[in-house]
Structure 1
Amino acid sequence: MTKSAIDLFCGAGGLSAGLEMAGFRVLAGNDCFEAAGKTFSATHPNAQFIPGPIEDLSVERLMRVTGLKKGELTVLVGGPPCQAYSVYNHKRGMHDRRATLFREYLRIVEGMKPEWIVMENVKGIYSIGGGEAVRTIKAELAALGYDVEEAVLKAEDFGVPQERRRVVFIGNRLGLPISHPDPTHGPDRAHPFTTIQDAIGDLPEIENGEDPGAPAYRTEASSAFQRQLRGNATHVTQHAAPRLGKVNMDRLPHIPQGGSWRDIPHELLPAGMKRAKRSDHTKRYGRMRWDGLACTILTKCDIHWGAYIHPEKDRAITVREAARLQSFPDYFEFFGSKTEQYIQVGNAVPPLLGKAIGEHLLTLMSHQVRRAA
């Protein structure tokens, strides 16, 4: 029987895409980001996107849309912001909306009573209140009958060509064992890390500010990663380079692969960076290495923020390149403005990380089948 999933705070649907790769049937997604909702709807045709804030999402509507009754959902997934919830007994209390969002997530858990839950959050959640956030999350879910364990997962350990850390909570109300997926990529593992060359080396060569439309791929797929993400696609979409101004274009030729702002002549540096310590801003004006991993893809692939300069071309990476580095299949079309497209890509759970989580969930669920037998 196909396992069902609902994705709260779904964004463009990176985690949903990964679960579908693993064999789950995603029935619905909810988010208040309109452009992301259009992307989710277009790329998850078998799921119902429910727009609007989670505060307005009733359990009754979820059941009506999915056809499920309480207790029938296999897994509820989502990444509610938890930064404020850790201190809700103290100064900020429930005044911070981010704390309320986690409360809303708990409301859906209580109403739907899924067999399993998966939550993801930034690694920084461990430092909030000396770990109080994590303890509180687990205590609140325990009060609803869920055993929960969390672990830090590294996206690159699962074939994503990017250094990205996320805390993943996995829980169930069935009394079954809980664990997290074992790494599959890296030294002394089944597969090497997926490099930037593996990830984007087949995409058309373009210059600063160039929009080629929907060109054909530059080469045949030369890596398993490229073959997987290309699927049946024959042309590349959303591969337009942001236009950098002259002052930045004067800086970029000085930066080698693996280099950064430190390689820019002092007289060409922004005024604020002329006073910076050499140990500061380690990723700013960084140029990617073909044989390396990307830094964490953020909601703005701005060269002032991090290493978002193409390995060879003097330009910033495109939406498609950012999506590849997040392991989004090429059939994903991101809706909205260019800014909104980058936000959707950067906010997402990398689909290949979602796939690893989904496949591991199925393994954990097999214990339930054996126990029933």
Structure 2
Amino acid sequence: MKQFKLLSLFSGAGGMDLGFKNAGFNIIWANDFEKDAVQTYKNNIGEHIVLGDITKIDSSEIPGEPGDIDVVIGGFPCQGFSIANTKRNMEDSRNFLYLELLRVIKDKKPKFFVAENVKGLLSMQKGKVLNMILKDFKDLGYTVDYRVLNAADFGVPQARERIIIIGNRMGIRNPFPIPTHSDTLKDNKLKPYKTVKESIGFLSDVELLNGKTSKYILVNNRKIYNHIASTKVQDTFFGRKYTVDQAEICDYLKSWRDKSEWTTKKIDKHFGYRHTAGHWFRKDNKSGSIPKPSDWWELKKILKFDDKYDKIVTTFVEKPILYEQSLRITNWDRPSDTITATSPEIHVNKERRLSARECAILQTFPDNFIFEGSLNSLYRQIGNAVPVLLAEKIATEISILL
């Protein structure tokens, strides 16, 4: 079986790359400027990715002779586009990043290229920006087409619409994948959309790994990594019914700890936390905290404290929900809304946002694809990625023609 050669720009954590790799492509070089994303890519896909600014990487530093590359892929950023300068050229001083993709295509002359971008590119300056981009690719001698593809139509449990631009210099019609799924109310000939519930429902009652020393948790014989999430929703959704003074609770817990044989370090180890218990015994508004109900009841077992604060610490009530963009609850019985690079939607249990792993599953990353970095970095890497399954289906169509 032939190994098709591929170059990847703006690779991020590697969603599109993994899809093409799954379809039999050999990625000989990739690039991104974000450190965490590059480390994630290296750990999961390969060492061929280069950390650096593509505008400072000469084409001669990128492997592959002109005409020797089968495909160049890249999800280029679209900020800062303008068509005001009618004398645009390859050395445009404004340094549009899509021009870097254009440059590599011009210099390496791949048989195909695939570019991905947000649907908003369609309306940018009333469509003139997209037309400008398409013309620039065509001027290199490529037959160019684009479509808006919804990832949900291809078995991804997420309604994610993106522009996919495909070009080839073989003088043939550009291939696009054929939808396999749909809303069954509209078309019962296709498979029904994959829902959020069937994709991540098994993690609903699984405790987060936030602050835990273990790297993964075993669920239904699946090793689940990166099951960490933002829990900053309690004030809006499930919050304590009673006012609780953290300093007061801290003094109370410290007194019972001191009467026991338990040290803070030993308590952390018992719970499997790195440093969380220390915050329960730290009386300060910035870093002190109150145990969540499940931790409170476990503390009660080991420290054997009385019932004085049980009710006010563990009684939670549902508070009014303000339906704003940042406070939406995720879908459950249909594909999710678009996974973004910032705070994801709130889980249906209303106690937390979707975890990084749940977002990754909705982006069709496999369980053994482990992301590196802080929680915000994980959310960003996952949200910026092309769904792996969608990329694989695009790649498969192209491979048939190579």
Query: Given the superposition, is the C-alpha separation of residues 19 and 287 from structure 1 closer, same or farther in structure 2, using an over 3 Å criterion?
Result: same
Q: Distance in 2 between matches of 1:180 and 1:144?
A: 21
* CA contact 2:209–2:216 (8 Å) conserved in 1: no
One-letter code aligned to 1:168: I
Q: Distance in 2 between matches of 1:190 and 1:15?
A: 25
The RMSD of aligned alpha carbons is: 2.7
**C-alpha offsets along residues 252-272 of structure 1, whole Å, 9 cap, x if unaligned?**
99xxxxxxxxx963xx75xxx
Residue 332 (structure 1) shift = 1.3
Q: Distance in 2 between matches of 1:356 and 1:86?
A: 32
Query: Given the superposition, is the C-alpha separation of residues 189 and 62 from structure 1 closer, same or farther in structure 2, using an over 3 Å criterion?
Result: farther
Give SS of 2:133's match: helix
Residue 105 (structure 1) shift = 1.5
Identity %, equivalent residues: 33
- The equivalent position to 2:228 in structure 1, one of 232, 235, 240, is 240
Residue 291 (structure 1) shift = 1.5
Q: Distance in 1 between matches of 2:211 and 2:336?
A: 23
Query: Given the superposition, is the C-alpha separation of residues 359 and 245 from structure 1 closer, same or farther in structure 2, using an over 3 Å criterion?
Result: closer
Residue 177 (structure 1) shift = 1.3
Query: Given the superposition, is the C-alpha separation of residues 340 and 101 from structure 1 closer, same or farther in structure 2, using an over 3 Å criterion?
Result: same
Residue 88 (structure 1) shift = 4.5
* CA contact 1:160–1:350 (8 Å) conserved in 2: yes
**C-alpha offsets along residues 150-203 of structure 1, whole Å, 9 cap, x if unaligned?**
000001011111111100000101101113211111232442211112211233
User: Which residue is 1:11 aligned to?
Assistant: 12
Tell me the TM-score normalized by structure 2. Answer: 0.73
Residue 328 (structure 1) shift = 0.9
Q: Distance in 2 between matches of 1:246 and 1:40?
A: 34
Matches within 5 A, 1:1-373: 1-45=2-46, 48-63=48-63, 68-89=64-85, 96-97=94-95, 100-186=96-182, 187=184, 188-203=188-203, 205-206=205-206, 210-211=210-211, 213-219=214-220, 234-244=222-232, 246-250=234-238, 265=320, 269=322, 281=324, 283-302=325-344, 308-312=345-349, 314-365=351-402
One-letter code aligned to 1:244: K
Q: Distance in 1 between matches of 2:240 and 2:149?
A: 33
Give SS of 1:124's match: helix
One-letter code aligned to 1:296: T
Q: Distance in 2 between matches of 1:288 and 1:70?
A: 47
Query: Given the superposition, is the C-alpha separation of residues 204 and 83 from structure 1 closer, same or farther in structure 2, using an over 3 Å criterion?
Result: closer
Q: Distance in 2 between matches of 1:124 and 1:40?
A: 27
Tell me the TM-score normalized by structure 1. Answer: 0.78
Q: Distance in 2 between matches of 1:62 and 1:215?
A: 37
Residue 248 (structure 1) shift = 2.8
* CA contact 2:329–2:350 (8 Å) conserved in 1: no
One-letter code aligned to 1:237: Y
Q: Distance in 2 between matches of 1:325 and 1:198?
A: 10
Residue 284 (structure 1) shift = 4.3
Residue 210 (structure 1) shift = 4.5
Give SS of 1:201's match: helix
Structure 1 stretch 140-149 or stretch 176-185: which is displaced more? 176-185
Query: Given the superposition, is the C-alpha separation of residues 87 and 71 from structure 1 closer, same or farther in structure 2, using an over 3 Å criterion?
Result: same
Query: Given the superposition, is the C-alpha separation of residues 179 and 285 from structure 1 closer, same or farther in structure 2, using an over 3 Å criterion?
Result: same
**C-alpha offsets along residues 48-69 of structure 1, whole Å, 9 cap, x if unaligned?**
1111111112211112xxxx21
Q: Distance in 1 between matches of 2:340 and 2:346?
A: 13
Q: Distance in 2 between matches of 1:345 and 1:215?
A: 18
Query: Given the superposition, is the C-alpha separation of residues 211 and 160 from structure 1 closer, same or farther in structure 2, using an over 3 Å criterion?
Result: farther
* CA contact 1:203–1:236 (8 Å) conserved in 2: no
Q: Distance in 2 between matches of 1:246 and 1:156?
A: 31
Query: Given the superposition, is the C-alpha separation of residues 241 and 141 from structure 1 closer, same or farther in structure 2, using an over 3 Å criterion?
Result: closer
Residue 207 (structure 1) shift = 5.2
**C-alpha offsets along residues 293-319 of structure 1, whole Å, 9 cap, x if unaligned?**
1111111124xxxxx111235211111
* CA contact 1:149–1:179 (8 Å) conserved in 2: no
* CA contact 1:176–1:364 (8 Å) conserved in 2: no
One-letter code aligned to 2:19: G
Q: Distance in 1 between matches of 2:204 and 2:125?
A: 47
Query: Given the superposition, is the C-alpha separation of residues 26 and 286 from structure 1 closer, same or farther in structure 2, using an over 3 Å criterion?
Result: same
* CA contact 1:83–1:125 (8 Å) conserved in 2: no
Q: Distance in 1 between matches of 2:151 and 2:54?
A: 27
Residue 349 (structure 1) shift = 0.5
Q: Which runs of 5+ in 1 are unaligned?
A: 221-233, 254-262, 274-280, 303-307, 366-373
Structure 1 stretch 6-15 or stretch 25-34: which is displaced more? 25-34
User: Which residue is 1:227 aligned to?
Assistant: none
* CA contact 1:156–1:194 (8 Å) conserved in 2: yes
Residue 89 (structure 1) shift = 1.7
Give SS of 1:166's match: strand
Q: Distance in 2 between matches of 1:207 and 1:331?
A: 19
Query: Given the superposition, is the C-alpha separation of residues 246 and 56 from structure 1 closer, same or farther in structure 2, using an over 3 Å criterion?
Result: same
Q: Distance in 2 between matches of 1:293 and 1:343?
A: 20
Residue 73 (structure 1) shift = 0.4
Residue 36 (structure 1) shift = 0.4
